[in-house]
Chain A
Amino acid sequence: VSQLTICFPRVRVGGDIVITRAAAIWGVPLKIATAVMIVDIPIEIGLNPIHASEGLFVLASIIDITERRQAELEAARQRNELAHLSRVTLLGELSGSLAHELNQPLGAIVTNAGAALRFLVRDTMSHENVREILEDIVAEGRRAGEIIRGIKGMARKKDPIRQLVAFNDVITGVIRLTRSDALVHDCTIASELDPMLPKVEADVVQLQQVFLNLILNAFEASQEVPRTQRQIIVRTERDDERTVLASVRDFGPGLPAEAPERVFDQFYSTKKEGMGIGLYIAQSIASAHGGTLYAQNAKGGGAQFFFRLPAFSKVDV
């Protein structure tokens, strides 16, 4: 060890910092005592042993890393801002079909209620009929509420929260959210989800964002091919004991053969009004979760995106 770095959060500004004997005896665990706290300053302590003929000396340095820490926080804040911007853009792309998705339960509610009113006027309705209609109205009202909740979560701007998440649930939710968009694009989505998939520790909204990105891109890519070919396959599987793997595959024209990884570049876009941050952000979300997101051309045509995340295991706790 040429340098020992210790970060400790609290020192008294201008006060005594006692590095107990450590400066003299290299290799012994450091004991650091701080006096009365006044202000929190993040610092980094470096200790370098210097072997001289007179004996062992230690060069100790204490660096105030407030600025560096602030820059890191600022970078994280900007990343979250950009992620939010990208999410809102995605929702914007979806808005037409989300309206369609909402009109579905609203239409059923209005028509059911209208039918019930007419039955009442004609006095031709049994209690059983009334009950059935009202039950349907309640169910459809709930469904509309769920759609709104799904969008609200995505649109909200908040700091990511890590929790245990079932990968499959996130995917199922996103597929539901994109159902109308699939119809508009004449695409069908097939999902092959491993029911025994372990959970992952992640921010739900960010995971949704990654899948929403991949699926909307797959719709877009599918527009280049005939309707019969517009299929999207979403799979989850256990990659190994410690990794879960999700993939989204389309049968579109595929990725640029010479440099498939370019699709992840910032500002790379094939869409007319695309900002080119979707996949770039998705990849940064994957790596912030200790995972990877990459793409390749699939055998038999089309692009396939792979999203790998560490599986949660109790041993890690």
Chain B
Amino acid sequence: MTLAHALVYVIDDEMSMRKAIGRLLESEGYSVEMFPGAREFLARPPHGGPSCVVVDLNLPELNGLDLQRALAESGRVEQLIFITGGASVPTCVQAMKAGAIDYLSKPFRDEDLLGAVKQALVRASEQRVKSS
């Protein structure tokens, strides 16, 4: 099942990983937009429909947690899914406490990412129903 008008953002400074995640999501019929960094993503106007963000925790400059904070501060409601190549447990706990849907360690199982994305988009569309 894919949600109509749903959009998944992928933020990873590693092009190879970004492309791979993009392909995986597209193979399941999602629309995907990719960014090499959090700044580039924040510069884009928010999507009108339900959306979620798959983001690498260890990004240079603005990292995943910074992005989470920046989104919260500007009142944006995008759901976040973190991926990590080996982030410390405290960092992941912090991310989850701040409301992330999930965090996945690379290399992760396709089902895990797709499951988390689905959950994030469902939550996003519920929020939209609530707020409208």
Contacts and interface: CB of A to CB of B under 8 A. Distances in A.
Interface stretch (B1-9, B11-19, B42-50, B69-77): B11-19
Given A99-B86, A100-B85, A119-B27, A107 B107 contact: yes
A35 interface: no
Nearest to B13: A183
B-side interface size class: 20 to 34
Interface string A50-88: 000000000000000000000000000000000000000
Interface string A126-137: 000000010010
B28 interface: yes
Contacts of B21: 111
A118 to B, nearest CB: 4
A101 B85 contact: yes
Interface in B19-72: 19-21, 23-24, 26-28, 58-60, 63
B23 A107 contact: no
A104 B17 contact: yes
Contact of B106 (A103, A116, A133): A103
Given A114-B110, A118-B110, A107 B27 contact: no
B32 to A, nearest CB: 11
B127 interface: no
Interface string A112-124: 1011101100101
Interface string A174-193: 00000010011010100000
B58 A183 contact: yes
B93 to A, nearest CB: 17
Contact of A118 (B27, B105, B107, B109): B27
A184 B56 CA distance: 13
Interface in A130-187: 133, 136, 139-140, 180, 183-184, 186
A38 interface: no
B16 A139 contact: yes
B85 A122 contact: no
A309 interface: no
Nearest to A182: B60
Contacts of A116: 23, 27
A100 B14 contact: no
Contacts of A96: 86
A133 B22 CA distance: 12
A186 B110 CA distance: 29
Nearest to A133: B23
Given A100-B86, A101-B85, A114-B24, A108 B60 contact: no
Given A99-B86, A188-B60, A104 B24 contact: no
Nearest to A179: B60
A109 interface: yes
A193 to B, nearest CB: 20
Interface in B95-128: 105-110, 113
Contacts of B20: 107-109, 111-112, 115, 136
A223 B65 CA distance: 18
B91 to A, nearest CB: 10
Given A107-B107, A108-B16, A111-B107, A180 B24 contact: no
Interface of B: 14, 16-17, 19-21, 23-24, 26-28, 58-60, 63, 83, 85-86, 105-110, 113
13 contacts: A96-B86, A99-B85, A99-B86, A104-B16, A106-B106, A108-B20, A109-B20, A112-B24, A115-B26, A115-B27, A124-B27, A133-B23, A180-B85
Interface of A: 96-97, 99-101, 103-112, 114-116, 118-119, 122, 124, 133, 136, 139-140, 180, 183-184, 186, 188
